[in-house]
Copies of this chain bind each other. A is one copy, B any other.
Amino acid sequence: MKPFHPTPKTLMGPGPSDVPARILEAMARPTVGHLDPQFITLMDEIKSLLRFAFQTENPLTFPVSAPGSAGMETCFVNLIEPGDTVVVCVNGIFGGRMVENVTRAGAIAVVISDEWGKPVDPQKVEDTLKAHPEATILAFVHAETSTGVLSDAKTLCALAREHDCLTIVDAVTSLGGVPVKVDEWGVDAIYSGTQKCLSVPPGLSPISFGPRAIAAVEARITPVQSWFLDLSLVMNYWEGANPKSNARSYHHTAPINAMYALHEGLLMLHEEGLETAFARHQTQHEALRDGLENLGFSFLVEADYRLPQLNTVCIPERVTDEAAIRKTLLENHNLEIGAGLGALAGKVWRIGLMGASASPANVEKCLGALKQELG
């Protein structure tokens, strides 16, 4: 066995996305202690930059020390108590994962299903919330990574508020790529990932909890089932807001170098500006869309609720072995695109334009490689 020197790939799948050299360099800076005042300052800056990215003033905004799935679980296990009723919108694989989280936390999941490739239907949500006044939470995926669909988070959060439900929002693929307005929309709990539109290596899950969500955590009767993800403990490290002590206290050892990378990625987003980043994703999406349509691809998702950062296209009938094409792209063109998941496996490709991957060079490379391989 030898040191690992990967052949670099252009990452245009559903994440991870291309990581700029600047972020990789930041990640390789010397490791310091997790209670070193230098690192505490870094943590404060990360919290501040995440508030910018999430467009929120929520003090409890920080990265969970594990990938997006753990961010999801953090939201559910802290806000659910056994026996609760949670309304979950499922229009793709990640909504299904939410249901798993709900039932494993001992709650009852009321599932609203929409077709894969369609957004969550607000009318069904309203009807379901009316029919289930006992529900305490509405959970949905803002940007479904399995289908490339954007749902109307603003409308869904307003409905939840009308029916006295907290919201849990999956923003793994949306954060940094399309607007995510936590305060304006009244989102109560939200989680994301680093390896999508932030272009940071995977491993951390930014979350934000608003005042109503914190009140619910504080009013819990049962302990949170996960020690690692229990916000009442993690907060003491990230907030120093332990009522018993105003010092930061050790909870677990944070992934120090991963935090360096996240800090650098967030700085780059701040330098570019949110609106500019969103516009760049949209512009590159339009260029890719035009090129793909010229090659005979059609989109799974209607233009109105299509994610610019994740282009899910139906594989043309003339392609008889889609896995072989993806393999050729990866091996001969050093280009990664994503396969379909679940019911869409073998039927669609998911072509990501996330973060640094949303560039004219990537669009050109992808279109050129597809043209060559598909003829």
Contact at A15–B264, with CB atoms within 8 Å? no
Tell me the A1-48 residues at the B interface (CB within 8 Å). Answer: 1-9, 11, 13, 15-16, 18-19, 22, 24-34, 36-39, 42, 45, 48
Question: Is residue A147 contacting chain B, with contact meaning CB distance below 8 A?
Answer: no
Contact at A6–B24, with CB atoms within 8 Å? no
Q: How far is the CA of A18 from the CA of B67 in the complex (A)?
A: 25
Interface centre among A4, A70, A202 (most CB of B within 10 A): A4
Nearest opposing residue in chain B for A37, CB measure: B330
Encoded as 1 (CB less than 8 Å from any B CB) or 0, chain A from 273 to 317 comes to 000000000000000000000000000000000000000000000
Q: How far is the CA of A7 from the CA of B37 in the complex (A)?
A: 11
| Set of chain B residues within 8 Å of A203, measured between Cβ atoms | 65, 203, 255-258
| Set of chain B residues within 8 Å of A9, measured between Cβ atoms | 30, 32-33, 36
| Contact flag A97-B33 (CB < 8 Å), given A6-B38, A201-B255 | no
Encoded as 1 (CB less than 8 Å from any B CB) or 0, chain A from 345 to 371 comes to 000000000000000000000000000
Binds B, one of A133-141, A151-159, A208-216, A218-226: A218-226
Binds B, one of A98-106, A109-117, A177-185: A98-106
Contact at A255–B255, with CB atoms within 8 Å? yes
Chain B's nearest CB lies how many Å from the CB of A313?
19
Question: Is residue A263 contacting chain B, with contact meaning CB distance below 8 A?
Answer: yes
Question: Is residue A49 contacting chain B, with contact meaning CB distance below 8 A?
Answer: yes
| Set of chain B residues within 8 Å of A254, measured between Cβ atoms | 67, 202
Question: Is residue A320 contacting chain B, with contact meaning CB distance below 8 A?
Answer: no
Question: Is residue A73 contacting chain B, with contact meaning CB distance below 8 A?
Answer: yes
Chain B's nearest CB lies how many Å from the CB of A311?
17
Contact at B31–A4, with CB atoms within 8 Å? no
Chain B's nearest CB lies how many Å from the CB of A232?
12
Contact at B330–A227, with CB atoms within 8 Å? no
Contact at B104–A226, with CB atoms within 8 Å? yes
| Contact flag A252-B1 (CB < 8 Å), given A30-B6, A31-B24 | no
Nearest opposing residue in chain B for A260, CB measure: B4
Question: Is residue A195 contacting chain B, with contact meaning CB distance below 8 A?
Answer: yes
| Set of chain B residues within 8 Å of A28, measured between Cβ atoms | 24-25, 27-28
Which of B3, B104, B330 is A225 in contact with, Cβ under 8 Å?
B104
Contact at A66–B68, with CB atoms within 8 Å? no
Contact at B105–A250, with CB atoms within 8 Å? no
Which of B1, B38, B42, B225 is A45 in contact with, Cβ under 8 Å?
B1
Contact at A6–B19, with CB atoms within 8 Å? no
Tell me the A52-86 residues at the B interface (CB within 8 Å). Answer: 65-70, 72-73
| Set of chain B residues within 8 Å of A336, measured between Cβ atoms | 32-33, 36
| Set of chain B residues within 8 Å of A224, measured between Cβ atoms | 104
Contact at B15–A19, with CB atoms within 8 Å? no
Given contacts A19-B257, A31-B202, 13 further A-B contacts (CB under 8 A): A4-B260, A6-B32, A9-B33, A9-B36, A65-B66, A67-B252, A70-B70, A70-B252, A195-B256, A201-B256, A202-B255, A203-B257, A225-B226
| Contacts from A to B (Cβ < 8 Å) | 1-9, 11, 13, 15-16, 18-19, 22, 24-34, 36-39, 42, 45, 48-49, 65-70, 72-73, 97, 100-101, 103-105, 193, 195, 201-203, 223-228, 250-258, 260-261, 263-264, 267, 270, 330, 336, 341
Ordered by A's residue number, 17 sampled pairs between the chains whose C-beta atoms are within 8 Å are A6-B42, A7-B32, A11-B32, A16-B31, A16-B253, A27-B27, A27-B28, A27-B257, A37-B330, A66-B66, A66-B228, A70-B70, A101-B227, A202-B254, A202-B255, A202-B256, A255-B258
